[in-house]
Each structure stands twice: as structure tokens, then as C-alpha cells.
Structure 1
Amino acid sequence: MARPLRADIDLDALCHNYRLARDLAPTSRSLAVLKADAYGHGLVPCARALEGLAPAFAVACLEEAEALREGGITAPIVLLEGIFSADELARVEALKLGTVVHSDWQVEALLSHRPAEPIPTWVKVDSGMHRLGFAPERAASVWARLSAAPAQACDLHLMSHFATADHADTAYFEHQMRTLNALAETLNAPTCLANSPATLARPESHGAWNRPGVMLYGSDPLEASNSASRELEPVMTLRSQLIAVRDLDEGEPVGYGGRWRAPRPSRIGVVACGYGDGYDRHAIDGTPALVAGRRTTLVGKVSMDMLTVDLTDIPEADIGSEVVLWGRAANGEVLSVDEVARHCDTISYTLLTGVLPRVPRRYHSG
């Protein structure tokens, strides 16, 4: 029998979350963001599930786009970080990709290239994230140069990224929006601004295109959930089983360093999952888990291949009982990856993308 740990990927939930993003912005089109192996869920299977819904996809780099094309995906694909060297433009053209430009050298490379067909181009503006993009006062000249070039003139978009769209305090988001609205009006430019939190909570940012990312995978990116984010469904369930059960007296330690000691006579379960699988070693005592569909907590430090949970109040749990580290249990109970992430002092993105290759992904729909 194989080790019981697996990541179950619910493709119906993925499609539900995409439809939610689409329906929240009915006058926009939505790029489905598939970077980082579809946030750890599997690049090609997720793209195949969404191809009938999403008009285009977005990835971080050429290698991810190539994997999609090799997997049979024919929909438009945008490179969110653009090219990393001028010689990549030949592959961009051959694979019929769109590309972001955020630096002068990328613009020069694009203008020097002579494609047989126009390359869709997305001009990245730094409206306050201070990561990638042209300063707003320079964006107009870049836009003008690209607009005058036959290879780009027919398919230009203005793109930016919000630093605080997930925050309850909207002041900085509003500052970025003012900058972008003024620029888009001056250039008469179609925009692609809204990431997941802006798609969910900032309708004023919805443009010609939006870019839902982590929300597609069921994670709520908002600092304070709203009615829309509460409709998200978990796509990944990290699921294992109890492989051992033992009884401890009061005061007995569990795990490396004996960080946790039983506060009462306790029943402890050993789960086949550890940091060697990508589960976060920083999980504290009290991190939630579901055993036999009931909530309990981790006790003791996470080991490479195992972790331990408190079964004292779940007498029916025994060897072979289902353990859900995040996602949906067999009885329908849900444990949010966002809740687990908070106990690990991290975010859902790191947990989802951190599930390692030795954990098999199993895809299901219908």
C-alpha cells in the first residue's frame, strides 16, 4: 500500500472560483493566473480545466508558457515578467505569446524585433508597488513609441499591480488608482489592474482585463473577508491518514525538543506528512487539522515525514482515519489553508506552492 499522503485537486472548485471572478466583473475579461505550477496545483491540468472558461492565461516566464503549449493549451498566454533576454522573443513569437514590458531594454528589444504577426504587449507601470514598471511620468513616452510601431500598435494594454488592495485601509490603494486613472485617461488605454483582492473587493479597479490568481485556488486574500470571498471553494485538499496512535500520561513530551507536554492523560496520533512533503515546519502547537472530519490541533514540532495531532477528544479516531491538513474532509467539513497559514506565520501562497513533488496530485471533477 502506498503512503497515504496526497493532494486532491478539485477542478470543479477551480472552475467555480474562476466563474466567481468573472461574474464579479462582467464587463472585464479575466486572465487566469497559472504561475508557479498553478500555485502548486499543477499547471497543465488546471489550464485544461479552465480553457473553456478563461479567454487567456498568465504565467511568470517562458518555460511555463512552453509547458502549457506542450500540454496542448492553445489559448493566449501572457508573460507577466516579460522576457529575460532579447533572444527569447523568437520563442515568444513562435508560441504566439503576449509579453509585459517593464524596462527600457525590453522595449528596445521589442522594437528591434520584426515579428510576422503583432505581439500583444502589456506596458507595466509602477503606480506605487515599487517593484517592476515604468514611472508614471515615463509611461506615456513608452506607450507612444510602442503605439507607433506596426508590430505592437494593434494590441497594447496598460498594466499595474496594487500593493494594498487586500487591506481594509484603502488610502494607498486609492492613491494608486488616482495615478492609474489619470494615465489611462491621458493615453486612452485599456487597463489590466485588478489582482485577486481587487477583483473581489475593488470594483473601481476592474478594467478591460483582470488578473485573478490565488483566489482561483480557493484562498481568501482579503484582510477582512467579504460576501464574495466567502463564496470561494478550496481546490487543494492535503489529505493523509493516521499511521500510529499512542497514549501518554500527563506531562509526557511529544516530538523533537519536547516542546509540547500533555496537559492531561492524552491520546496522540501520528500523521504521514511532514516538512519533507512541504508542510511548514514553523507550525505551532494548536495549528488546526481535521481528523475523521473533526477539528483538532497539532502538538509538537513537525518532523520531516510525520507530524502529531491530539486525539484525546476524538475517541473514534484510529489508525487509517482520514487527516486533512487543509481543504475539505470526506464529511464536508472545511479547513481553510488561510487559517493554517496564520498558525505558521505565513500566507497561503507559501503553503500551496510549497507542497513538494513527492506528494502525488490526484485530479477530479464532475
Structure 2
Amino acid sequence: MTPEHEPAKLLEIEDLHVDFLTDRGWTNVVAGVSFDVGPGEIVGLVGESGSGKSVTSLSVLRLLPPAYTRTPGGHVRYRGRDLIGMPQRELRDIRGNEISMIFQEPMTSLNPAYTIGDQIAEGYRRHKGGSRRAAFARAAEMLDLVGIPDAGHRVRDYPHEFSGGMRQRAMIAMALVCEPRLLIADEPATALDVTVQAQIVALLARLRDETGCGILFITHDLGLVAELADRVVVMYAGEVVETAPALDLYDAPKHPYTAGLLSAMPHLGVRGEELPTIPGRTPEPWRMPEGCRFSPRCGHANETCTAAPPEFRIVGEGRGCRCCRTEQLRLVGSP
């Protein structure tokens, strides 16, 4: 597909449903998720642990174990092609080549028995061909791109010889070696100190600017999203509850859950005050409440909220919300 015929959206997830096989039988964990990512755009996917963020991202490349998961409904389209029904042979040509993924924990994603260079070069040779020497040179080039000092020598090191931040950079190099059009970054800064987090965020923004790739940035850290994302998708209990341009979301959230997440962010200069929290916990997938799934934890809930599940509605330009009281509430944002 030529650049002039490039679709307006790289990734389109439409009404996606994912079930897990549990002791209770098939249990729904992702319910009707819809959003998209455009070329050169960074979309932040946020929510608490257990909200369905990682399951959604793994479903894009069908990386969930097929024996214990199923997709009873929905579509995942990449440049107009539906990945859900695509044969595995075609999908393998897309994975790591046109769509790449950075996983949460690099130490468990990298093979300790092979050098960093071998692991980066493997994907490059699989999709682009060429000699082992050329692939190794490409691996060193990518390590240099992501800021690894002395990349020509470090390419022969093993994962245990890299620090946590350097391993994460190596994972980014591995994901970018084939110059993908779409990058899925699943909690890429988890368990890293704030200095390394800032470096990873700056690196992703620079790579977007230099390569024009689209990025789906998955995190529970709204502070990182504020620095990086163009648009934000908020998930709760397997559903999308709000979507908005990043600045609009922080200025004026429409859903009480989003407002709760923003109020729980610590702010510089605020001392001696108890940090707000959202009461309760995310419900188990097999024990979802009646009506709005957030209603048991919501301070604004009334009898309307528990009567029936709210629909996801457009509430402004580029904005959507799953709340039956959106027009009545005036929620506080974050500086």
C-alpha cells in the first residue's frame, strides 16, 4: 500500500469481546472495546490493573493462548485488514514487522541464553533476510538509536549484563528493528526509576517524530500519559469508559472514574494532605454489578446508574463517555 493510499487509521478495534476459560466456564473479560490509532499518533490506554488493557493489546496480535481464550465478537483491523480471522501464516509476517510490541518485563521477555544482538537480529533476518553479519550490524545500529553507549560492543552482551533501563531500551530496539508502522508499548516504564521512565517516554516521542509510526501506549500512570499521548482511552472492568484528546481529558474529565484517577495523582507542592483514593476494588469478571460497572465505587451514583448498563455516547468533538449522568456532573480535572 503506497503512502498516498495509507488508511487514515492504522489500527481500528471495533466492538471487541474476549472471553477466558475459567473454573466457572467461559468468562467475559473484555466487553465491546472500540478505539483506533492513526499514523504518527500516540494513543494512551489507561486504567487500573485488571481493567483489560493488556488483554486488549495482546488480542491485536492474537498472542493470548488459544486453548483458554476466545474472541466471540468484534474486529481488529490493521490498515483495513481484519487480524482476527487472518491465517497464522499471514499474521506471522505482520508480527514484529509491521506491528511490534514492547512487553512489560524485559527480563522475562529476553532469552538469557542468547546475546542481545542475536535476539534483535533474529527478527530482522526473519522478515528482511540478509546475512548474519548484516543483521548484527543492524542490531548495533538499533542499540545506538535507543541510546545504548558503545553499542558496537554491547551488542554481544547477554541480558543479565544490562541494567533494567538498558534491557527496556533493548526491547524497544528489538521492536523497532524492522521499522514497524505500529508500535504497542505495554507498560514500557514499569518498575523503572523516574529518571529512566522519563528517558523512555522521551525516546518513544522522538521515535514517533522521526519514523512517523503510530504508538499504542498502555499504562496505569496518568502522569506518563500526560507527557506523551495525543489521545487517551480510559478502561474500567473490561469496558472503555471515556475517550478524549489528552489535554481535554486532564482539563475536564467526563466520567467519575477518570476524575478519580486524576485526583489520586500526587502533585508537587501539596503537603500535609491525605492523597485521595477510589474506594473499593475492580470487580471480578464473573461478578459484575448491575447497571454501570463503576457504580459501587462511584460517589455520584444514583438509582439510574444501577438500573441498566450505560451506553457509550459521543459527548463532544473527539470525546466519548459511558456514563448516564455526564450532562449533570461537573467533574474536577488535574493541573
With structure 1 as the length reference, what TM-score do the two structures score?
Answer: 0.32
TM-score (norm 2): 0.34
Rg larger in structure: 1
